Amino acid sequence: MKKITIAWLYPNLMSIYGDYGNVLTLKKRIEWRGIKTEILEINFDNTIKLQKVDIILMGGGQDRQQAIVVQDMLNNKRKILQEAHQKGIPGLFACGGYQLLGHFYHPLCDDEFNEFNPANFEKKMSSFKFTPGKGADIPGLKIFPQYTIHYGNKKPRCIGNIVTEINNEFQTEINKISKPVTTLVGFENHGGRTYFLSGKDKNLGKVIKGWGNNGEDETEGIVSNNFLGTYLHGFLIKNPHVADFLISKALEIKYGETKIQPLDDSLEWQTHEKVKDLVLNKSKNF
CA 273 to centroid of chain Cα atoms? 21
* 193 assigned to a ligand binding site: no
- What are the backbone dihedrals phi and psi of residue 34, each rounded to the nearest 5 degrees, phi first? 75, 25
Is residue 158 part of the annotated active site? The answer reads no
Q: Which string of b and e fits 245-254 if b means at least 16 CB within 10 Å?
A: bbbbbbbbbe
Q: What is the largest CA-CA distance in the chain?
A: 60
- Phi, psi dihedrals of residue 25, rounded to the nearest 5°: -60, -45
Q: 85, 95, 103, 106: which is the annotated catalytic residue?
A: 95
Catalytic residue among 103, 150, 190, 233: 233
- Does 233 participate in catalysis according to the annotation? yes
List the binding residues: 157
Which sequence positions are flagged as catalytic?
95, 233
List the binding residues for substrate: 157
